[in-house]
Amino acid sequence: MSAPARTPVSTYRLQFGGEMGFRRASEIIPYLSKLGITEIYASPLLAARPGGTHGYDLCDPSRLNPELGTTQDFEAFRNALRAHGLGLILDFVPNHMGNDPAANPWWRDLLENGPSSPYSRYFDVDWDPVKPELKNRILLPVLGDQYGAVLESGQLRVRYQQGRFSLHYWQLDLPMNLRRMRPVLRYGLEEFSAAQGEDDADVRELRSILFHLDHIPPYTETDPDRSAERHREMEVVRERLASLTDASQAVREHIERAVERFNTPDGENSDYLLLHRLLEEQVYRLSYWRTAMHEINYRRFFDINELAAIRMEDPAVFDDAHEMVARLAREGTVTGLRLDHVDGLYDPAAYFERLCESVRPEPNARLYVVAEKVLSLEEQLPSQWAVDGTTGYDFLNDVTAVFIDGRSAPRLRRMYARFAGEMPAFADVVYESKKLIIATSMASELNVLAHELNRISEADWRCRDFTLDSLQEALREVAACFPVYRTYVNQDGWTPYDQKAIETAIARALRRNPAMEPSIFDFLSRMFLPVRKQWPSEASYRRAMSFAMKFQQYTGPVQAKGVEDTAFYRYGPLLSQNEVGGEPWRFGSTVAEFHESNQRRAQNWPLTMLASTTHDTKRGEDARARLNVLSEVPDEFRLWLSQAARSTAGLKTILDGMAMPDRADEYLYYQTLLASWPMGSPEDPGDEFVERMREYMRKATKEKKVHTSWIHASDAYDVAVSDFVTRSLTGRRWARFRKHLAAFHRRISLYGMLNSLSQLALKLCAPGVPDIYQGAETWNLSLVDPDNRRPVDFERLAETLEALDHPARDRSGWLRDLLASGVDGRVKMLATAEGLRLRSRWPDVFTHGTYEPMEVAGSQREHVVAFTRRASTHRSGDRTVMVVAGRFFASLARHADSLPLADGIWEDTTIATPAGAGALVDILSGRRHEPIAETLTANDVLADFPAAILTNG
C-alpha cells in the first residue's frame, strides 16, 4: 500500500464537546504546536445527538456538529491548523448512528415509513422477526415502565403541527405515519361536516385529503416504484394538510379536538383503547426498555438501544455516510481518519478498500487511516486491510506488560484468592461473563441468528433433525468460547488464523458441554466456514455465507461486553493488566517479547498508532504505571492490604448477614486508591476526589454484574458501597486509614513515576505514531470514563511549557531537580516535549527507520530495555536515536523513600551501542556519552533520569 498523502509524526487526542468547541480548540493549537505535536486527533465532529458528550451518537453525517460552533468557528479552527502546519485526524463512526428521532433524519423517516422508507436499507432491521407481531415493524424499547402502565398514565401524547402528527413521551419526539392517522382526521368528521355544511370548501378539501391518503401505497410496500410513489404522494398530502390548517381555523380546531380526544380518554375509552389502536398502526411498537434484551429487531452498537447499527456494506449507505468526510478530505482539512469499532462492520476488508478509493485528498493520494481493532494475544492485524495500523491498544498492553514482574504472579494470585475468598481461572471468569451477556443484553441478537440457522437446517435433510433449542444452545456455547473478538470470513475465503479461531471455539464448547450432540458442532463448523462445493446450490451457499458474516458481527460485542465490561471487574489480582485487549492471566512479558512486538510493527505497520491513555482505557497511563509496582513488592502489598482492611473494619453495611461491599470489590477499591491518589499524598483528598471514587466504584460494581448492575440495580448494595467509600475517606476511621495509605502510597507513587517516565520514552521512540491523550503530557491518574473526560486546564499547561523552555545552565542538575519535585508534572511534560520535538526534527527515523534491540549485559540487565532507531537521509546522512529505559526500580532502591538513581545502582550493567554511531547526546540531560568498545554503562546513561533518549546529532 502506498504511503498516505500526509504522514503523521505524533498525535494529540482532543475530546470535543462541552467547553471544547472549535473556537476553544483554535486557541490551544499554538500550545500543541510548541509541544511538538504534528496532528490533532479529534473525537467525532459530525452532527450528533443534541446534548451528547462524546460524538459517537452521530445523527447526520452530512454536516458538522452545530453544538461545537458555527461555520465561522470551524473555519477559524481550520485556519489555525494550517497556520501552524498541523494535520487533522478525525474520529469517524462507520458502524452505527445515534437514533434520536428528532436529530437523525434517516431514522425518523424509517420510523414513519418502515420498509417503504428510502432508508430502510440503511439500518440493519429484521422486518420478519421471530415474533409475528413485529413483522414489518420496529421494536422501540424506550419506555421507562411497562407499555400498559405508561399508556394509562397519560404520558403518551399525540400532537399535530404543520401537516405532521407526532407522538411525545417526555423528551422523546416520534413521527407518526400520516396514512395511519386517518382515524384521527375522521374522528367527529360527520358532526364537523354537518356544522360547517357539506359544500364548505374546507370540508371538501379535508375529505379529498382523506381520499388521497386512502389510495397511497401502505408502508409495507417495498417495490421501488411503489415506494417512490408513496414517498412523493405523502409529501403532497402533508403540504395540502398544512396549507388547509393554516388557512382554516375551523379545520385546525377540528383536528385539535380529535387529537385531544385520543389523548384524554373518558367513558368507554377509559382504557385508552383509541390511543392504543392508533399506536398499533404505527411502524414502531413501543415497549419497556428491558424488553430489548430478548425482542429488539434492529442491530445495535453492543447493547445500547440508542445506537442503531447501519449497513455500511450497502454502497448507497457508504456514499451518504461519508459525504462530509470526503468533502473535508478533498479540501485538505481532514488528513487522516480513526475508524471506530470496525469489528461491527459486515465486511471490514471490503469497507477499507472502498474507503481508500472513495475518500481521497487527491486523485492519486490516500488518507492516513487507523482502525480501532482490539487484538487478542498473538492475534495480528489482517494484512489485507487497507489501513496504516490500529489505534494502539496492542502497544499499550505490550508496554504495560514489560513493567510487570511476572515472578510475582503466584504470590499475587494467592493473595487475591485469600482476600477475595475465591480465585477462579480467568478463562472460567470470561466464559461465565460472556454467557451472562448472551443470556441478557445480547439475547435478542442470538435469537435472530438461531432462527436463521434453524431455517437453513430445515432446508437440508442432513441436519433438519437439529431443533431450534439445540441450535441456539450450540451457538451460545461457541460464542461464549470464542477466543478473539471475531473472524473475517467473506466471499474471498478466510485465513488460517480465522479457521484456527473457529476450531478453537468449537473445541472449547465441546469440552465444556460433553453431553451435547457433537454433530451439531460439525454443522456449525460448516456454517462458519462455508465452502461452495459443500452446498447444493449457489443460493444455499450465499445464505450460509451471509449467516457466517452475521455471526462474526455478534461475537465482537459479546467479547467486549463479556470481557472488558464484566470479567475485567470480576478478576483483579493486578488491575493494570485489565485493559482493552489485555490478558490479566498473563502477568507481564519479557524484554525479548517487547522487542519482537516492536519489530513486527516496524516491519508491517510502521505508522500504527501508539497509545498509553485513551478515552476508553480503564485507567490512565500513570495510574497503571503505579499499579505495576505492586508486582515488584507483593509482600509489602499483602501487608498493606491487611492494614487497610483492619483500618476500615466496621465501615461496611451488613444486610442479611452479608457485608457490603464484598471482599473482591474491597480489593478493587484499594488498588484504585493506590492508582489514582493525587501526587504528593495530600492530607485531605478533597470532596472532588471522594466523589470520583464513589462514582468509579458505582460503575465498577454495576459492570461486574454480581450484586448490582445497570439493568437490575440493587439500591442497597449501591448505597452500601458509596457509604463505605465516604466513611473510609472522610469518617472517624480516616486518620488511621490514611496513615497506612500515605506510607505505602509514597513509595508506590515514587516508583510509579519512574515507570511512567521510562514508559514514555519507549512510547515516544517505538515504531508507530505516539498519541498523547489530552492532558497526559503531565501526570494522568484518571479512571474509566467519564472520569478520563474531565476538562483540561490548557492555560496552565501552556504556562508550564513556556517556563520549561528556559532551563537552567546546568541542564542535568536541573533535570534531577525536576525529577525530585516530580509531583507537579513538569518532569513528564519536559520529557514529552523533548521527545515530540525530536520526532518533528527527524521524522524519517521514526516513520520509516529501522528498529534494532540493543544487547544489555551485566548483573542488572533485567532492569534495562534498550533499542535503536536509524535512518539515512540524503541531506543529513545517518541519523541514530537510541533509547535506554530502566524498569523494576523498587528492587534497585537503596532507600524506601528516595529516588533509586544513586551512583552505582546499575552496578556492572552495560548497553551495546549501534555500530558506527559515535558520540551520543541525551536530549533530556544534555550529557554527551562516548561509547567505549561500542558500549555504554547504565550508571552513566541513567545517572540523571530513569530513561535516556540519545542521538548522534
Block residue for cell numbers 508550564: 800
Percent of the chain whose predicted confidence (pLDDT) is above 90 = 87
The string of pLDDT tens digits covering residues 63-103 is 999 999 999 999 999 999 999 999 999 999 999 999 999 99
Whether the model clears a pTM of 0.75, i.e. scores above it, the answer is yes
pLDDT at 895: 41
Given a cut of 70, whether residue 11 has pLDDT beyond it is: yes
Q: What does the pLDDT average to over 818-829?
A: 93
How high is the mean pLDDT of the chain?
Answer: 94
Q: Under 8 Å CB-to-CB from 742, ≥6 apart: which residues?
A: 681
- What pLDDT digit, counting tens, does each position of 424-447 carry? 999 999 999 999 999 999 999 999
pLDDT tens digits for 145-156? 999 999 999 999
Q: With 60 as the cut, is the pLDDT of residue 607 above it?
A: yes
Q: What are phi and psi of 64, to 5 degrees?
A: -75, 160
Q: Tell me the DSSP string of 879-893.
A: EEEEEEEE---GGG-
Q: Which of 875, 838, 856, 874 is nearest to 951 (CA)?
A: 838
Question: Residue 624 corresponds to which cell in the numbers above?
Answer: 497503571
pLDDT surpasses 50 at 491: yes
**Which neighbouring-strand residues pair with 857?**
910
**Cβ neighbours of residue 661 closer than 8 Å, sequence gap 6 or more:** 652, 669, 697, 701, 707, 717, 720, 721, 724
Residue type, 53: T
Instruction: Give the integer Cα–Cα distance in Å for 418 and 888.
Output: 26
CA angle 301, 291, 438 (to 5 degrees): 55
pLDDT band at 272 (very low <50, low <70, confident <90, very high): confident
Average pLDDT over residues 864-882: 88
Grid coordinates given for 831: 520529557
Give 953's pLDDT tier (boundaries 50, 70, 90). confident
d(CA 285, CA 142): 10
Q: How confident is the model at residue 894, as a pLDDT?
A: 54
What would the pLDDT profile of 325-338 be if each residue is shown by its tens digit?
Answer: 999 999 999 999 99
- Does the structure show a pLDDT above 50 at 896? no
Residue of higher predicted confidence among 627 and 806: 627
In 3D, which of 15, 2, 1, 31 has the Cα closest to residue 836?
A: 31
pLDDT band, very low/low/confident/very high, at 875 (cuts 50, 70, 90): low
Closest CA to 896 of 743, 670, 742, 754: 743
Please say whether the beta carbons of 285 and 275 come within 8 A.
no
Long-range Cβ contact pairs of 162-169 (< 8 A, separation 24 or more): 162/242, 162/245, 162/246, 163/237, 163/238, 163/239, 163/240, 163/241, 163/242, 163/243, 163/245, 164/238, 164/242, 165/259, 167/279, 167/282, 169/142, 169/143, 169/286
Weakest-pLDDT range from 245-254, 358-367, 637-646 = 358-367
Per-residue model confidence as pLDDT tens digits over 525-549: 999 999 999 888 999 999 999 999 9
Percent of the chain, pLDDT > 70? 98
Tell me the mean pLDDT in the region 448-469.
90
